Amino acid sequence: MGPGPVNAHPRVLRAMSADLLGQFDPEMTSYMNEVMALYRPIFGTENQWTLLVDGTARAGIEAALVSLVAPGDTVLVVNFGRFGLLLSEILQRIGAKIETVEAPWGETVPLDAIEAAIQRTGPALVASIHGDTSTTMAQPLDGFGDLCARAGALSYVDATATIGGMEIATDRWGVDVVSGGLQKCLGGPSGSAPITISQRAAAYIQRRKHVEQGIRRDDIEDGEGPLIGSNYFDLAMIMDYWSDKRLNHHTEATTMLYGARECARIMLAEGLDARYARHRAAGGAMTAGLRAMGLSLFGDDRHRMTNVTAVHIPDGIDGETVRRKMREHFEIEIGTAFGPLAGKVWRIGAMGYNARKHKVLLTLAALEAVLMGEGLRLPAGEGVTAALAAWEASQ
């Protein structure tokens, strides 16, 4: 019950035990095409280029940024937590000129501040996190992509911590590239990064195409744009691999693809609205329960992610001792924190397969027992009761 990775759905784990296929076997390439179709509704998009990057969610971020940004390009980063800082760290390696528009940890960045920063900096790309688990805040994104497009900028959003749990509306937001990971609300393991790419972004990336010397073909031409700074993360080549050209790049991570496919099948069978409602119900029960225990939450209530909650560690309580006892006595993991919040808050998730009534209630019951054992006075029994009431009110 941390901020991810969390327990995988058992069906995903079973799907991953299927034997491998050759990477150009028609059965394998049909699964690749299925994955493209399955992830379009999950990303809220009609984008043709909706596929997997073979690596963890961070690989998806780097693939997006290194393919969308050339050295010297100005990039505006919307920064409201650790993962906003990560965007800048990756962009620094690419050689981008980095500008930021910021909010304090626990808040999000108002759209008009982003607009003003775009006017001020004239970026080629604007990049934001959707849900930053370091602060548990979700950046509002309606209107974001259109704002960028009007200023002639491409836009990128990292949705690792929200995809599968909160609505991703790529097309409605007007965002060019969105990437995610399996290990949070999608209920799979880390190691595959779904990504979607608009036609506009794909056209930009294709202009940077440079086919490897060992596999050049007469029917595929190089573009005239600057070379993409990574071979592994070159989305131009990865798109050719996922297209009918099937131009060889890396060897697709077959087992991870089986897992990603099953995550999506489970999600679409549940229904997008039902799934988001389940996460809202679990998050609402968690926050109600924590507050009824007398604990105080970190961050702006209006922009709280539904799938992870940061709660202040009470005075006189050692956060790591509580985490250890939760794990040793109850086999339940809750999260620590980064940077300015380290030692100050726990982050308690209810993501994917774990966004379920009984898991929220059991976590609260365990936390109450551990805190009482540590000598904290709290209104015994009220956390679970309030959480159950909140869950039932949401149904």
Residues in 180-209 at the binding interface with a copy of itself, rule: CB under 8 A: 181, 183, 189-192
Near a copy of itself in 127-146, by CB under 8 A: 134
351 part of the interface to a copy of itself, by CB under 8 A: no
Among residues 202, 156, 198, which one has the least CA distance to residue 179? 156
- Is 90 or 147 the residue whose CB approaches a copy of itself more closely? 90
Q: Considering only the C-alpha atoms of the chain, give the largest distance between any 2 of them, rounded to a whole number of Å.
A: 74
Rg of the chain over Cα atoms, rounded to whole angstroms, equals: 22
Give 301's DSSP letter: G
Establish if 264 lies at the interface with a copy of itself (CB under 8 A): no
Of the candidate residues 230, 243, 385, 394, the single one contacting a copy of itself (CB under 8 A): 230
Contact between 227 and a copy of itself per CB under 8 A: yes
Report the distance separating Cα 203 and Cα 81, nearest Å: 31
Position 330 contacts a copy of itself (CB under 8 A)? no
Please identify which residue in the block is written with the tokens 């229904």. 271
The DSSP 8-state label assigned to residue 144 in this structure reads H
> Does residue 10 have a cis peptide bond before it, meaning omega lies within 30 degrees of 0?
no
Give the C-alpha separation, 176 to 204, whole Å. Answer: 11
CA–CA separation, 250 vs 253, rounded Å? Answer: 9
Query: For a copy of itself, which stretch binds (CB under 8 A), given 117-125, 242-250, 307-315, 383-391?
Result: 242-250
323 annotated as ligand-binding: no
The interaxial angle of helices 357-373 and 272-292, nearest 10 deg, is 20
Residue of 207, 327, 329, 344 that binds a copy of itself (CB under 8 A): 327
Give the whole-angstrom CA distance, residue 309 versus residue 290.
Answer: 9
Which CB atom, from 145 or from 188, has the smaller least distance to a copy of itself?
Answer: 188
Cα dihedral 368, 374, 378, 379 sign: positive
Figure out which of the listed residues 45, 50, 56, 309 binds a copy of itself, where binding follows CB under 8 A: 56
Binding segment (CB under 8 A) for a copy of itself, from list 19-27, 199-207, 276-284, 306-314: 19-27
The only residue of 13, 272, 369, 388 in contact with a copy of itself, by rule CB under 8 A:
13
Nearer to a copy of itself, 2 or 174 (CB): 2
- Smallest distance from a copy of itself to CB 55, Å: 4
Please give the residues from 373 up to 392 whose contact with a copy of itself meets the rule CB under 8 A: none
Q: DSSP secondary-structure letter at 304?
A: B
Is 19 a binding residue for a copy of itself by CB under 8 A? The answer is yes
For the segment 61-100, give every residue that binds a copy of itself (CB under 8 A).
62, 66, 81-83, 85-86, 88-90, 92-93
- Token readout for 68 is 């969308």
CB 372 to a copy of itself: min, Å: 24
Q: Are 312 and 298 in contact (CB under 8 A)?
A: yes
What CA–CA distance (Å, rounded) separates 138 from 161? 9
Establish if 2 lies at the interface with a copy of itself (CB under 8 A).
yes
> Is residue 228 involved in binding a copy of itself (CB under 8 A)?
yes
Choose between 353 and 391: whose C-beta lies nearer to a copy of itself: 353
Q: How far is the CB of 85 from a copy of itself (least distance, A)?
A: 4
Q: Which residues of 285-315 are buried (b: 16+ CB within 10 A; e: fewer)?
A: bbbbbbbbbebebbbbeebbbbbbbbbbbbe
Phi, psi of 15 (to 5 degrees): -60, -30
Q: Is 260 in the site for a copy of itself (CB under 8 A)?
A: no
If one asks whether residue 248 binds a copy of itself (CB under 8 A), the answer comes out as yes
> What distance, in Å, lies between the first and last C-alpha atoms of the chain?
22
Asked if residue 382 lies in contact with residue 293, where contact means CB atoms within 8 angstroms, the answer is yes
Q: Of the two residues 174 and 187, which places its CB atom closer to a copy of itself in the complex?
A: 187
Which residue ranges make up the annotated binding site for substrate?
347
